[in-house]
Amino acid sequence: MPIRSLIAGAVVLVAASLCRADLPDIVDAIPADARAAVVIPSVNEFDGAVTQLLIAMEQGEASSPKQLLRIVGIAGAIDARRPIAAFYRTQNDSPMLAALVPTLNAKKAMESLGATKGAGGNDNIWSFEAGSRTWFVRALTDNDLLVGLEPRSLAAYTPVTGQLDAHKAAMGDAGLAATQNANIIAWGEMDEFRPMLDQWLAKAGSSINALKAGLGNTTAPGADELASFVDTLTHAITRDADRFTLTARTDANGVVAQFASSFTPDSQMHRAATASRPAEPRELFAGLPALPYLLALSVDASHEGVRAIAATSANATGDRPTALHTAEALALAAYEPPGMLVMEGGLSRVVLHFAAEKPDTTARWFKSYIKSLDGTQGASVSYDDATGQVAGVSIDRWVMSIPDTGNRSAQLLYGQHGTPRG
């Protein structure tokens, strides 16, 4: 089965007229002061969706979520029809990480785990071994368990209800819209994750630079400009966000991830998010060939906030603007190659679709940009105007070749040729 959209992403900057989503009922029992939380609305549905995706990716031998639960010995204790949640909060000046776990029968579930009571000197706290570590568990109701890593925090915890509205308000309309039909939902305060994200972005940047060095610094049209914009955007979000919602929906067609955030007032991202939009966002994916693709990306460049962010990216200069300054929107898709991925490369069939109020301006920018690559990093570029017509529209033709470095990473991107071809 072909993978029709392996990964697609969306950053929600402005939330206007978005409908509210119904959150799983377990959210009502997550403390409103939780600094972060993760919910799987249905373990069964999540397991089925991941299993479909693994089969579509021809990875059917990989373990599904429920199989992993069986491996660590806790699958029989969980009521997989109901939602499961984990949350992090500060309780009595101490950090608390715990999970709300639904069961068919709490007492029998603890027995099936081989749990023994009396952990930490408290008969209400039980302990069991799973995944090479000791866990602690407390029965909150006849069907619900509280599981954690520290017995004192479980003993001191007071169960709550009526927390749903507080979580909805914290997510906002954009966050709630992202939760619709999601298989997994996470939300929280960015302060808890900012140091980790900063480290991750630094490592990601180092890895990308190492990859580029291994590729012999090969260039693909627009790649550096797009990478610079994404780098600027991710760092700005990490710096300015105060709360976030992250969701994923998984099925046989792939994974759709959505990220929504609120920002510190008067920060760069807050100004970008509240900037005006001259018109409704354009749907450019419909203009791309309806073929199975590996990766798709769409950017609404008519949004003044997007243009403001693009203007601060490292590769944007007055004499060399990016595509985001000449078009109102763009969409890119990397399609499944005609042959084996390892032979053809992940970027062997890429289509970039622009929508512009002045298409001649965008066309001139693209032509100028492609020609500017000639001679850089060993590239040889030719550009021919009006070489033919497609559906009555005149087309140009360009060809770029880069000396084959023999680098394995380059071959995974561009096929056995190891270089971009256009």
Give the Cα separation of 179 and 175 in Å (integer).
7
Residue range 274-301: mean pLDDT, rounded: 73
Contact between 80 and 44 under an 8 Å Cβ cutoff? The reply is: yes
- Contact residues for 336 (Cβ-Cβ < 8 A; gap 6+): 2, 3, 291, 292, 293, 294, 349
Give the Cα separation of 151 and 142 in Å (integer).
20
Q: Mind listing the pLDDT tens digit for each residue in 143-160? A: 999 999 999 889 989 999
Q: Mind listing the pLDDT tens digit for each residue in 239-273? A: 888 999 999 888 766 788 888 888 888 888 888 77
Residue range 108-113: mean pLDDT, rounded: 86
Q: According to the model, what pLDDT value does residue 359 have?
A: 82
Residue range 320-349: mean pLDDT, rounded: 74
Of 4-8, 70-74, 260-264, 289-293, the range with the highest mean pLDDT is 260-264
Residue 318, class by beta-carbon neighbours within 10 Å (0-12 exposed, 13-18 middle, 19+ buried)? Answer: exposed
Query: Residues of 106-125 as b/e, b for ≥16 C-beta within 10 angstroms?
Result: beebbebbebeeebeebeeb
Residue 293, class by beta-carbon neighbours within 10 Å (0-12 exposed, 13-18 middle, 19+ buried)? Answer: buried
Contact between 267 and 297 under an 8 Å Cβ cutoff? The reply is: no
The confidence band for 11, taking pLDDT boundaries of 50, 70 and 90, is very low
Q: Which residue has the higher pLDDT, 288 or 125?
A: 125
Q: Mind listing the pLDDT tens digit for each residue in 85-94? A: 999 998 777 8
Q: Is the pLDDT of residue 315 over 70?
A: no
Element (H, E) at 260: strand 254-263
Distance of CA 147 to the CA centre of its chain: 28
Q: Is the pLDDT of residue 235 over 90?
A: no
Q: According to the model, what pLDDT value does residue 208 have?
A: 62
Query: Residues of 228-238 as b/e, b for ≥16 C-beta within 10 angstroms?
Result: bbebbbbebbb
Helix (H, G, I), strand (E, B) or coil at 294: strand
Residue 98, class by beta-carbon neighbours within 10 Å (0-12 exposed, 13-18 middle, 19+ buried)? Answer: buried
Supply the DSSP symbol for 286. G
Task: Report the DSSP beta bridge partners of residue 257.
Answer: 9, 248
Instruction: Find the DSSP H helices in 312-351.
Output: 341-344
pTM (predicted TM-score): 0.70
Give the Cα separation of 283 and 293 in Å (integer).
17
Contact between 349 and 422 under an 8 Å Cβ cutoff? The reply is: no
Q: Which residue has the higher pLDDT, 315 or 368?
A: 368
Give the Cα separation of 326 and 313 in Å (integer).
15
Contact between 311 and 358 under an 8 Å Cβ cutoff? The reply is: no
3-state helix, strand, coil in the chain (%, to 5): 35, 30, 35
